[in-house]
Amino acid sequence: MTAHRPNDRHSIAVTVGLPGRVEEEEKAIYRGQLNLLPPTPASIALCQHAQRMIEEVFAPHDPRTAQHHLSVDEFVERAAAVKPRFIHDPQTRVLQKQYLKELGFDPDRTYLDVPRMRVVSSDGYLTSGVGHKQPPHRDTWWSAPMQQIQFWLPIFPMSRECSMEFYPHYVETGVENSSDDFNIYAWNARGRLKAAEHKQGEDKRGIPQPFAPLDHPAAVQVTLPVGGAVIFSANQLHATSDNVTGMTRFSIDFRIVDGQHVADGVGARNVDNGSTGTALRDFRRMSDEAQLPGDVVALYDIGDKPEDGILVFSSDVAERQKTERSPAETG
């Protein structure tokens, strides 16, 4: 479990484990710290749970090399099927909560969204949609709250050639970007379901990204065992590393917020985010699945709501959108 660090005066502090009180570690993460976590029984179980689903969907092929045996359309069809299956399987949620309990997060003040499965193909097999490489971005550009902390875990063994990368220079330095054009409620209504329609070429769904290449591209890359995790702030500038391994990378990520920090306005400092709306309604309390109080969410709900905007994306919304799409769109 390693972090490959640049020779840069803005290098991120990298910590193995959660050596202090969870709340203090959260505050350090807001300031740019990366935490590398070793595998735990629950994190290994979560990854194995995902492995079984992936192997079933891609059978008889090894999922990591299936891209060499399947057409792009067939690969995308299988990947697009397994991702929501993983999200909505009840055992996924059980294992996610067990993992956070093992790490010491308070169930009464920790709010979490659903774990998601990510797929990144190798050597340009897919360049957009369900298997695309994310350009440098902050999740705050996608209307994520400044209190959001993100977990990322590889499902299969990995190397730095198929990793994630973080840009230490930009922890406190802004980047000119297109987040001013992003509204999460419009994205919920029009962008989220279209990933499978994008396979090659530019992803035209309005993904927030920098206007120009980074002036300081020195990056930290992480290498983790199966069940290991890196946790970081939504305000951390990061990207998908170029996958040149010849194998598809599968990973899990999910997000949490500390409800007390949200209420108190404690979090990362906004250096360049212009997105509108808020993803806070996506989070549910670990102890009882309650939402954050409406008056707290309202503090962060900036900008206008599009007439067709959707506040919270759900499986019901997805099914309704599929039904409402025309034959030309679904063909």
Instruction: Supply the pLDDT for residue 206.
Output: 74
For residue 318, the SS3 value is helix
Rounded to the nearest integer, the mean pLDDT of the chain is: 88
What's the confidence (pLDDT) of residue 308? 84
Looking at 2.60.120, 2.40.50, 1.10.1760, 2.160.10, the CATH number of the domain 12-324 comes to 2.60.120
With bands split at pLDDT 50, 70 and 90, how would you rate the model's confidence at 248? very high
DSSP 244-291: -SSS-EEEEEEEEEEHHHHHHT-S---SS---BS-SGGG-EETTT-PP
Calculate the dihedral angle through the C-alpha atoms of 160, 35, 118, 182, rounding to the nearest 10 degrees.
Answer: -110
pLDDT band at 5 (very low <50, low <70, confident <90, very high): low
Q: How are beta strands 164-166 and 220-223 bridged, if at all?
A: antiparallel
The number of C-alpha atoms within 13 Å of 46 and in the hemisphere containing its C-beta is: 33
Asked if pLDDT for residue 313 goes beyond 60, the answer is yes
Domain chopping of the chain, boundaries: 12-324
Find residue 59's DSSP bridge partners: none
Give residue-wise pLDDT tens across range 188-240. Answer: 988 665 444 434 445 445 789 999 999 998 899 999 999 999 999 999 999 99
- The predicted structure's pLDDT at residue 75: 94
pLDDT of residue 132: 63
pLDDT band for position 307 (50/70/90)? confident
At 19, the pLDDT band (50, 70, 90 cuts) reads confident
DSSP secondary structure, 150-172, as one string? EEEEESS---GGG-EEE-GGGSS
* pLDDT at residue number 304: 84
The least confident of 41-45, 72-76, 126-130 is 126-130
Least confident of 47-61, 124-138, 247-261, 312-326: 312-326
What's the rounded mean pLDDT across residues 118-130? 83
Interhelix angle 72-88/90-103, nearest 10 degrees: 60
Residue 124: pLDDT band with limits 50, 70, 90: confident
Q: Please write the tens of the pLDDT for every residue from 145-204.
A: 999 999 999 999 999 999 999 999 999 999 999 999 999 999 998 866 544 443 444 544
